[in-house]
Structure 1
């Protein structure tokens, strides 16, 4: 018998032997190992019965959602655009409004006693209008006048008596300057904008119904900002009870500018700084 025939006869038995071994191994695994595994799984995990699926009715709600979102956005935009309405008192009743809000304007509340709380808007309008034209309407001043009077230093010279500016006289204005410096400039401008209808009404009573009072206020502030501070203490003369400036350029100043001189150098510089800030904020509101 040739070798080829021998291999052909042995090959089928080898395959059969492998198949039988595989079947025996599968039977052992299924009935022994797999059975034990199933017992562990059964005790740990309860059997879950899948619910019967019912037909779901599909509803397209996308258009409604989009419409709802748009409506919400529109409402939010409308809400942000709406500003709270400002309810103003009448001009004759505006003093009550000021009396309530004035303490919130400054942290130096003890200095509010310097403010005249009678007919405040009209006082502010009349005094500012006169000041912008170079005159002083003391009867309409929004602040009480200082108790201390102006004084000068008397000096005897060979040429006679010489009167020198007394810088200590400027101290009588210190509380007024401190009050202005302590005020919230942002709130001041906000009040001005809110009360503008009443301010225009008071200005119209003076005979200027068509003019913008903001121009008057701007001119008054500019008058202060343009005021030059003398480098040296001015010399004075006293031909009568009243003092006069010996320098003719100072004596020729109008009453409003002379008041600024009497404030003193340090006080005037502070007032300039505060009014410059207020003027810039007013310009942004226009």
Structure 2
């Protein structure tokens, strides 16, 4: 049976799933920024306990459980006063991204407004079940999503991986150390956006590493990748794949060879992030 073409990626899996993952990876790592940023600690007042009667002896309280570190992956502090405000950060971010990606790639693929907020929201969403396209910092990958096989037993067309090849090559060419250094220098902006998103008392770099680790844990899936179409939308026929995170499912759909290359870049970025965190301020 001839491969069937769809208008775009929206009918595949869920409508919120992005088709812009390669440049999403570029954007979310390019703007990486370090620094302790802003962090809020909350303390509950000690609960008042009535005094025990003199005739009774209260048992000694159990030793408190070891407290979990508030920040698992701290970065060197960066002076927020040397940065623009979050509201005025687009100009700086556009210059930084264009320098790393190249002007043509930046103009072709990056949405140039609210960049920090878009990157933070996307990083936060990738380990979840869906990653809404409306908050992404990049335009969708061009071309039509294709399936092959029969209408009763559709499969993911391996030819789809060609749509991502140009983007994956660009990701491989991205200079890892400058990416991480740029992230470290502008981190307070990302921390501020993360708290603004609804995560006060949470540390964005921890969430970033969670997202990277989740992507690295994406399974290597053999072909053909079977699909089902219970209604309008395609889903993975394998329930174990269908319950994977949005980020992992995007890696699966871009093809095994492309996914391995993206994972190699993510590992390099993670290694440099860990090295940056190990540096003393």
Tell me the equivalent position of 2:93.
98
After TM superposition, the structure 1 = structure 2 runs for residues 164-179 of structure 1, keeping only pairs within 5 Å, are 164-179=155-170
Tell me the equivalent position of 2:244.
253
Q: Is the 8 A contact 1:132 1:217 kept in 2?
A: no
For the residue of structure 1 that corresponds to 2:87, the secondary structure is: helix
1:177-196 residue CA offsets vs partner (Å, 9 max, x unmatched): 23322211111101111111
Q: How many residues align?
A: 199
Tell me the equivalent position of 1:195.
186
Give the whole-Å Cα distance in 2 for the aligned partners of 1:85 and 1:216. Answer: 20
Tell me the equivalent position of 1:223.
214
Give the gaps of 5 or more residues in structure 1.
Answer: 1-82
So what's the TM-score if we normalise by structure 1?
0.64
- The reply on whether 1:122 has 2:122 as its aligned counterpart is no
Query: How far 1:281 moved relative to its partner?
Result: 0.3
Tell me the equivalent position of 1:214.
205
After TM superposition, the structure 1 = structure 2 runs for residues 94-173 of structure 1, keeping only pairs within 5 Å, are 94-106=89-101, 109-112=103-106, 113-155=108-150, 161-173=152-164
What do you get for the CA RMSD once the two structures are aligned? Answer: 2.3
- The reply on whether 1:280 has 2:278 as its aligned counterpart is no
CA 1:140 to 1:162, structure 2 compared with 1: closer, same or farther past 3 Å?
same
CA 1:214 to 1:262, structure 2 compared with 1: closer, same or farther past 3 Å?
same
Give the whole-Å Cα distance in 1 for the aligned partners of 2:93 and 2:245. Answer: 32
Tell me the equivalent position of 1:235.
226
Q: Which has the higher helix share?
A: 1
Give the whole-Å Cα distance in 1 for the aligned partners of 2:263 and 2:214. Answer: 10
Query: How far 1:259 moved relative to its partner?
Result: 1.7
Q: Is the 8 A contact 2:127 2:246 kept in 1?
A: no
Tell me the equivalent position of 1:35.
none
Q: Is the 8 A contact 1:132 1:216 kept in 2?
A: no
1:36-74 residue CA offsets vs partner (Å, 9 max, x unmatched): xxxxxxxxxxxxxxxxxxxxxxxxxxxxxxxxxxxxxxx
Query: How far 1:116 moved relative to its partner?
Result: 1.5
Query: How far 1:205 moved relative to its partner?
Result: 0.3
Query: How far 1:131 moved relative to its partner?
Result: 1.1
Query: How far 1:262 moved relative to its partner?
Result: 1.1
- Higher RCO (C-alpha 8 Å, min separation 6): 2
Q: Is the 8 A contact 2:126 2:245 kept in 1?
A: no
1:105-126 residue CA offsets vs partner (Å, 9 max, x unmatched): 14x5432221111111110101
Q: Is the 8 A contact 1:236 1:244 kept in 2?
A: yes
Tell me the equivalent position of 2:13.
none
- The reply on whether 1:87 has 2:82 as its aligned counterpart is yes
Range moving further from structure 2, 173-182 or 124-133? 173-182
Larger radius of gyration: 1
Tell me the equivalent position of 1:61.
none
- The reply on whether 1:184 has 2:175 as its aligned counterpart is yes
Tell me the equivalent position of 2:12.
none
Give the whole-Å Cα distance in 2 for the aligned partners of 1:123 and 1:103. Answer: 16
